[in-house]
């Protein structure tokens, strides 16, 4: 009896021991995987993979190089004007080597580009704090708003020579200098600088501010017309913005309104307007009179209408489907000319009267990096940080009850768009891209 119990106990113990060992091995494997991932996430940036530290890829997705008509600079230094860390994230870290918050913001941004489960906007917001504050409040003792005055800091502007995470200088273009650039390009190349803005109001506003800021120097007019366009540019909201060409001496700007990028153009229904056939024609050199010659710069935005019309999860699914369709076309196009892709900023949630899809917009940005990051497409997040800085200042005004006296041009009461100050800086970056090499700018400047 005792012997049989011992045999039974021994057998049962062995079986239990095997189960414990099996579970332990599984736990060891899981713990190793998790700890390896966590440790990697916590490593200082100088101990991260060399792949993270090197400049962003400029490889061609189709195996071809830029076409012979392409004249714009393609260096990582020029790229860094639009994409943080384009010459290697270590170079940006070295600008503030003893600033742990700076380093954490850059590390986090890089991880959010590499992984789909790391938020991007919080790290861009951290970096945005390094932009100088632009506005100040002057207050006199009165019982109403009449004693309040909000002004720009006298010597500060979003259009500045130096941005915190850009390793080169930015030329501040005056209207007359832009005009000299476009005239010189026309004389040397025999054709105007051509730029296209494809998307919704976010690209339209950048184009609009580029025209507005140079309006006194360049005689802008609609293609084929002799009269100068009005400064209000309200016509940009009219139906014919489907393919709206505006020209000046040595410059041609076209707005291609597209709320859903993956659809084809449709002159009858502007709410469902797309640009798939247009971008494909440019990418595969199938252009005709309707498309015009391939532009030197194409600035594209997509996803905002999906984010507002659909629930967050459906909006992200829709956006991923758009990228599945459009990424091969856009990457092929970026092998032929300079393509800049808009990285979304969040909406001003403190103004919202309904749910704001900021979570969806963050996931869309990460999807953009997944589909377009390893290509010649430039993903524009320096613009995003400027917008986030503007948001932070607007929110402070709102919390202090001062939003009623903020100038309309700052867009503090517009929940979806950046102010003129931000778009001025964005436009100036594009002028640096297209004009610095034409004007033979010093090598310390981006895109020289």
The string of pLDDT tens digits covering residues 223-264 is: 888 888 887 776 666 655 567 789 999 999 999 988 889 998
Extended beta strands in 179-280, E state: 193-199, 221-222, 244-248, 251-257
Q: Is 60 exceeded by the pLDDT of residue 31?
A: no
Q: What is the pTM of this model?
A: 0.83
Q: Residue 128 belongs to what H/E stretch? A: helix 121-128
**CA–CA separation, 329 and 147 (whole Å):** 55
In a domain, 338, yes or no: yes
Q: What is the mean pLDDT of residues 62-89?
A: 78
Residue 207 has a pLDDT of: 93
In a domain, 64, yes or no: no
Q: Is 70 exceeded by the pLDDT of residue 136?
A: no
Rounded to 5 degrees, what are φ and ψ at 298? -125, 115
Residue 143 has a pLDDT of: 52
Residues 272 and 406 in one domain: yes
27-35 contacts: CB < 8 A, separation 24 or more?
none
User: CB 192: neighbour CB atoms within 10 A?
Assistant: 19
Residues 89 and 175 in one domain: yes
Location of structure tokens 């709410």:
271
Relative to beta strand 135-139, strand 338-342 is unpaired
Q: Is 50 exceeded by the pLDDT of residue 40?
A: no
CATH of the domain at 99: 3.40.50.1110
In a domain, 60, yes or no: no
Q: Which two tokens stand for residue 260?
A: 């859903």
Q: Which two tokens stand for residue 403?
A: 């939003």
In a domain, 245, yes or no: yes
In a domain, 62, yes or no: no
Residues 129 and 186 in one domain: yes
Q: Is 50 exceeded by the pLDDT of residue 14?
A: no
Residues 134 and 35 in one domain: no
**CA–CA separation, 419 and 423 (whole Å):** 6
Number of domains in the chain: 2
Residues 113 and 13 in one domain: no
* Burial (CB count within 10 angstroms: exposed 0-12, middle 13-18, buried 19+), residue 45: middle
pLDDT in tens, 306-328: 777 777 788 889 899 999 999 99
Those residues with Cβ within 8 angstroms of residue 383's Cβ, 6 or more apart along the chain or in another chain: 82, 342, 343, 422, 425, 426, 429
Residue 286 has a pLDDT of: 85
Location of structure tokens 């613009």:
383
**Banded model confidence at residue 162, pLDDT cuts 50, 70, 90:** confident
If you average pLDDT over every residue of the chain, what do you get? 81
Q: Give the domain extent around 416.
A: 76-435
In a domain, 391, yes or no: yes
In a domain, 107, yes or no: yes
Q: What is the mean pLDDT of residues 27-46?
A: 37
């Amino acid at each position: 009896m005792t012997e049989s119990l011992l045999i039974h106990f021994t057998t049962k113990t062995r079986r239990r021991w095997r189960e414990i060992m099996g579970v332990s091995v599984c736990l060891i494997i899981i713990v190793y995987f998790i700890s390896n991932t966590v440790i990697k996430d916590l490593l200082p940036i100088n101990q991260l993979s060399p792949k993270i530290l090197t400049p962003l890829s400029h490889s061609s997705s189709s195996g071809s190089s830029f076409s012979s008509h392409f004249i714009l600079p393609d260096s990582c230094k020029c790229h860094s004007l639009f994409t943080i860390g384009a010459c290697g994230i270590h170079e940006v870290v070295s600008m503030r080597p003893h600033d742990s918050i700076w380093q954490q913001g850059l590390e986090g941004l890089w991880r959010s580009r590499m992984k789909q489960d790391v938020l991007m906007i919080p790290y861009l917001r951290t970096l945005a704090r390094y932009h100088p504050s632009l506005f100040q409040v002057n207050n006199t003792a009165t019982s109403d708003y009449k004693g309040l005055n909000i002004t720009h800091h006298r010597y500060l502007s979003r259009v500045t020579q130096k941005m915190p995470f850009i390793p080169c200088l930015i030329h501040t273009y005056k209207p007359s200098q832009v005009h000299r650039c476009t005239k010189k390009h026309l004389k040397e190349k025999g054709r105007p600088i051509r730029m296209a803005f494809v998307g919704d109001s976010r690209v339209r506003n950048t184009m609009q501010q580029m025209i507005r800021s140079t309006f006194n120097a360049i005689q802008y007019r609609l293609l084929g017309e002799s009269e100068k366009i009005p400064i209000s540019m309200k016509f940009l909201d009219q139906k014919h913005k489907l393919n709206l060409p505006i020209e000046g001496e040595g410059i041609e700007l076209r707005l291609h309104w597209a709320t859903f990028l993956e659809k084809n153009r449709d002159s009858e229904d502007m709410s469902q307007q797309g640009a798939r056939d247009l971008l494909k024609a440019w990418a595969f050199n199938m252009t005709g009179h309707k498309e015009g010659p391939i532009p030197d710069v194409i600035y594209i935005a997509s996803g905002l209408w999906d984010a507002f019309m659909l629930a967050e999860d459906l909006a992200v699914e829709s956006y991923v489907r758009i990228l599945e369709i459009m990424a091969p076309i856009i990457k092929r196009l970026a092998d032929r000319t300079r393509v800049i892709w808009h990285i979304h900023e969040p909406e001003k949630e403190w103004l919202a009267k309904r749910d704001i899809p900021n979570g969806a917009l963050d996931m869309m940005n990460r999807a953009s990096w997944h589909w377009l990051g390893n290509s010649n497409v430039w993903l524009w997040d320096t613009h995003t940080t400027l917008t986030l800085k503007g948001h932070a200042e607007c929110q402070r005004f709102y919390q202090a009850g001062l939003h009623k006296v903020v100038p309309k041009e700052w867009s503090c009461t517009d929940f979806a768009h950046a102010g003129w100050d931000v778009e001025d800086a964005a436009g100036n970056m594009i002028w640096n891209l297209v004009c610095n090499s034409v004007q033979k700018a010093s090598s310390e400047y981006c895109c020289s």
